[in-house]
Chain A
Amino acid sequence: MVRECSFAVLLCLSCRLPVAQAQFELLVGPRQAPQAHSAQELDDYLEILDAPSDRERVRLVEAFAQHHRHSELLGIAYQYQMLAYRGLNDYDGVVQSGERALKLHPDNLNTLLILANTLPNRVATGTVDDPRLAQAEQYVRLVFEGIERMKLPRSVSPQRWQELRLEMEASAHEALGHVATKRGKLQEAILEFERAVQQNPVPQGSQFYRLGVAYMLAQKNDSAREALSRAAELGPDGIRKMANMAMQKLSTKPH
């Protein structure tokens, strides 16, 4: 059996979210945009975006939070910090900065999805009642509700929204599959991962990898090979490596 990969690698599996790349929140209209109150505050915020490394970005967000405690930009700054921690494979950092971001923007779908996909990582497989799993599920529920309630700025076309929505829903299903895997509910996990890969308009290697692992655990080796090979094809490198390792192990097993 493929041991669920290390925490460090699992963090990299967390969803690829379009919203995360937006400098000023793609899904927020101009009238709702958080406002800097001084040019220096905005300069400091822009410095976060320019940070040459994830470690530096984490530091700059801390400095920003100290100097601009009441900044309306702080919630987004914490999102950047959360993403930087993810790049550093720092579970505690992702969770802490994600929760800080959520305190300021409780409905932020990007933060909710990243937390939902990250929280189960440290839970041992076979654990049923770890509160982190329930928390991840709660975040996914909030994502589905948030998607339904979303009021879009006109800069996002209906077609673009449809793509974003499908990507977010796929990521939410991935998180649910992850939770189910940890609880040892393999059939449920497979169902969720299948939903994720089927509906995502931008196929994600991570989702195929997780589906492949779930198939392996369920002894569905042919399906596992197929999903893992797709994961290896899609990458990125970390996923490719893990998918190839899993396929090697599979090669010793019967079809």
Chain B
Amino acid sequence: MMKRTTTFLLLTCIRLFAAPAWAEEPREKENLSDVPAAVLKSQYLSIAESADFRELWPYLDAQRWGEAKPLAEQLVAKHPQEPFSHFLLGYILLRQHDNMSAIRSLRRAERLGSKHPALPKTIGLAYYAINQFLLFKQQMQKGIELAPDDPWPHYYLGLYEATVTENFAAALGHFDRALALRPDDAKMIYYRGFCHEMLDQRDLARKDYEEAIGRLNSSEASFSLPHQGMARLLASTDSPAALRHAELAVAQEVSVVANHSILAKMYEVMGRIPEAIRELKAAVRADPTLAAPHYQLYRLLTKQGEESGASRELAEFQKLKMLYGS
């Protein structure tokens, strides 16, 4: 059971912490990655041997959080002084996006003396979910102190710097540290490349994107951003290759707005205007708050002589720009 407990936590801990905050900007619309295996190995979990936990386990394993929650609450009621029971409940609540309640449970686990390396990371992500970034950073630093071999706190800090503060030099440092501990991770490699791209180090960016694509190909994982990045990089120098990457990006993740935008751009470059319009409309459907695709539509519809459609798009662009600023 102990091994299974560990395995469960290895597999699920923070796997789905796709906190809405990460998805504020189009390029952030991807789930956070799994917490690595090593983090939970250190602590003996007496509670894992209990019948209550055995009952709870299958629901955790199946990620059936609605059914797991009342059982975790029972566990807390029976073992109120056991930090792990509070940790479990907090974890489940976080997976249900009940962030405030999750924080309360996780903080209880902390106050009860849990030194579990997964705890600071989990609380940190809960803080992130409610935009409490200072506390998020404090917890990630704690996580790094408790588990120096764990790449994930570095990764989360990197994502934070890349997407919230847009301090790409700082983000690059975090991704470098994460990759030193987990060199084969395609997402980490992609994000390091993204930082290079933002810092105008295009050769390094391309190298990382290509490496990320290579690793994803062998794992068949669905992660479109390296193709999107390649399409951006190649857009001005090699249109056919850029188009190919953009098409692959959309095929892999149709819900990512920026994939449609770059594909539309490449279709336009290649003179395939109706297809460009189709992609821009897909971008608008995927994120109705974005102003830019409406402006692109206005331009293309004007080119096509569709004046009334064009003026509708221009009006929408102006409205959204006023509301959201971009």
Contact = CB atoms under 8 A, between A and B. Distances in A.
Q: Which secondary structure characterizes the binding site on chain A?
A: loop
Interface in A8-65: 23-24, 29-31, 33, 35-39, 42-43, 46, 49-50
Contact of B289 (A31, A36, A157): A157
B93 to A, nearest CB: 13
Contact of B130 (A24, A29, A152): A24
B132 A157 contact: no
B242 to A, nearest CB: 27
B132 A35 contact: yes
B103 A154 contact: no
B323 A36 contact: no
B20 A154 contact: no
B164 A30 contact: yes
A97 B104 CA distance: 27
Contacts of A159: 288
Given A46-B104, A158-B288, A36 B324 contact: no
Interface residues of B, number: 27
Interface centre among A36, A49, A154 (most CB of B within 10 A): A154
Contacts of A39: 107, 110, 123, 135, 138
A33 B131 contact: yes
A35 B133 contact: yes
B67 interface: no
A154 B324 contact: yes
Nearest to A30: B131
Contacts of B305: none
A135 to B, nearest CB: 29
Contact of B24 (A29, A37, A42, A150): A29
Interface in B81-128: 100, 103-104, 107, 110, 123, 127
Contact of B134 (A36, A153, A154, A156): A36
A23 B288 CA distance: 24
B323 A150 contact: yes
Nearest to A151: B325
B204 interface: no
B25 A154 contact: yes
Contacts of A144: none
Contacts of B323: 150-152, 158, 161
Contacts of B312: none
A43 to B, nearest CB: 6
Nearest to B133: A35
B156 to A, nearest CB: 15
B21 interface: yes
B287 interface: yes
Nearest to B107: A43
Contacts, number: 64
A157 B285 CA distance: 12
A153 B25 CA distance: 10
Contacts of A154: 24-25, 287, 289, 324
Contacts of B104: 46, 50
Contact of B324 (A30, A31, A42, A152): A152
B79 interface: no
Contact of B21 (A30, A150, A161): A30
A153 B110 CA distance: 32
B132 A42 contact: yes
A187 interface: no
B135 A42 contact: yes
Interface string B282-293: 000001110000
Interface string A121-140: 00000000000000000000
B296 to A, nearest CB: 18
Interface in B292-326: 319-320, 323-325
A185 B21 CA distance: 48
B140 to A, nearest CB: 13
A152 B325 CA distance: 8
Contacts of B103: 42, 46
A63 B118 CA distance: 32
A37 B20 CA distance: 22
Nearest to A32: B131
A158 B289 contact: yes
Interface centre among A37, A39, A46 (most CB of B within 10 A): A39
Contacts of A24: 130-131
Contacts of A151: 323-325
A251 interface: no
A174 B208 CA distance: 58
Contacts of B134: 35-37
Interface of B: 20-21, 24-25, 100, 103-104, 107, 110, 123, 127, 130-135, 138, 164, 287-289, 319-320, 323-325
Given A30-B164, A33-B131, 10 more contacts: A23-B130, A30-B21, A33-B132, A36-B134, A38-B135, A42-B132, A42-B135, A50-B104, A156-B289, A157-B289
12 contacts: A23-B130, A30-B131, A30-B133, A36-B134, A36-B135, A39-B123, A42-B135, A50-B104, A151-B323, A151-B324, A157-B289, A159-B288
